[in-house]
Structure 1
Amino acid sequence: MNFTATLNSMGQGLCYALVSILFIFLAKKMDDWRTKDFDDDRHIDDGNVAVGLRRAGLYLGIAIGMIGPLSGDSAGFRTDMLSLLVDGVIITGCLFFSRFINDFIMMGRINNDRECVKVFILGGGRTTTGNTALGMVEAGMYIATGCILNGSMSGGGGSFIQSLGSALLFFVLGQIVLLAFGLVYELTNPFNVRDEIRRNNPAAGIGLAGILVALGIILKSSLSGPFTGWVNDIIGFFVYTVFGMVLLLGFSAFVDRFLLPTTNIATEIKEDQNVAALVVVQATIIAVALIIAHAI
Structure 2
Amino acid sequence: MNYTATLISMGHGVCYALVSVLFIFLAKLLDDRRTKDFDDDRHIDDGNMAVGLRRAGLYLGIAIGMVGALSGDSSGFSDDMIYLVVDGIVITCCLFISRSINDHIMMGHLHNDRECVKVFVLEDGRTTTGNTALGMVEAGMYIATGFILNGSMSGGGGSFYQSLGSALLFFILGQIVLLALGLIYELITPFNVREEIKKNNPAAGIGLAGILVALGIILKSSLSGPFTGWVTDITGFFIYTVFGMVLLLVFSALADRFLLPTTNIATEIKEDRNVAALVVVQATIIAVALIIAHAI
Q: Judge same fold: TM > 0.5, yes or no.
A: yes
Secondary structure in structure 1 of the residue aligned to 2:120: strand
1:35 maps to 35
Amino acid at match of 1:87: D
Q: Tell me, in whole angstroms, the C-alpha distance in 1 between the residues paired with 2:210 and 2:288.
A: 12
1:224 maps to 224
Amino acid at match of 2:207: G
User: Is structure 2 residue 137 aligned with structure 1 residue 145?
Assistant: no
Q: Tell me, in whole angstroms, the C-alpha distance in 1 between the residues paired with 2:242 and 2:9.
A: 40
User: Is structure 2 residue 227 aligned with structure 1 residue 195?
Assistant: no
Q: Tell me, in whole angstroms, the C-alpha distance in 2 between the residues paired with 1:171 and 1:160.
A: 17
User: Is structure 2 residue 266 aligned with structure 1 residue 266?
Assistant: yes
Secondary structure in structure 2 of the residue aligned to 1:263: coil
1:7 maps to 7
2:181 maps to 181
User: Is structure 2 residue 246 aligned with structure 1 residue 246?
Assistant: yes
1:81 maps to 81
1:48 maps to 48
Secondary structure in structure 1 of the residue aligned to 2:286: helix
Provide the identity percentage: 84
Cα distance per residue 1:206-254 (max 9 Å; x no partner): 0000000000000000000000000000000000000000000000110
Cα distance per residue 1:114-150 (max 9 Å; x no partner): 0000000002210000000000000000000000000
User: Is structure 2 residue 132 aligned with structure 1 residue 132?
Assistant: yes
Superposed displacement of residue 259, structure 1? 1.7
Q: Tell me, in whole angstroms, the C-alpha distance in 2 between the residues paired with 1:181 and 1:29.
A: 31
Secondary structure in structure 1 of the residue aligned to 2:20: helix
1:57 maps to 57
Superposed displacement of residue 258, structure 1? 1.7
Superposed displacement of residue 284, structure 1? 0.4
Cα distance per residue 1:64-122 (max 9 Å; x no partner): 00000111110100000000000000000000000000000001231100000000000
Cα distance per residue 1:191-215 (max 9 Å; x no partner): 0000000000000000000000000
Amino acid at match of 1:161: Y
Q: Where do 1:276-295 residues align within 5 Å? A: 276-295=276-295
Residue segments in structure 2 that go unaligned for 5+ positions in a row: none
Q: Give the TM-score normalised by the residue count of structure 1.
A: 0.99
1:236 maps to 236
Q: Tell me, in whole angstroms, the C-alpha distance in 2 between the residues paired with 1:124 and 1:134.
A: 21
Amino acid at match of 2:157: G
Aligned length, in residue pairs: 296
Q: Tell me, in whole angstroms, the C-alpha distance in 1 between the residues paired with 2:180 and 2:6.
A: 47
Residue segments in structure 1 that go unaligned for 5+ positions in a row: none
Secondary structure in structure 1 of the residue aligned to 2:128: strand
Q: Tell me, in whole angstroms, the C-alpha distance in 1 between the residues paired with 2:123 and 2:107.
A: 25
2:18 maps to 18
1:111 maps to 111
1:161 maps to 161
Superposed displacement of residue 257, structure 1? 1.3
Q: Tell me, in whole angstroms, the C-alpha distance in 2 between the residues paired with 1:99 and 1:210.
A: 17
List structure 1 segments (4+ residues) > 3 angstroms apart after TM superposition: none
Q: Tell me, in whole angstroms, the C-alpha distance in 2 between the residues paired with 1:76 and 1:252.
A: 45
Secondary structure in structure 2 of the residue aligned to 1:262: coil
Secondary structure in structure 1 of the residue aligned to 2:124: helix
2:100 maps to 100
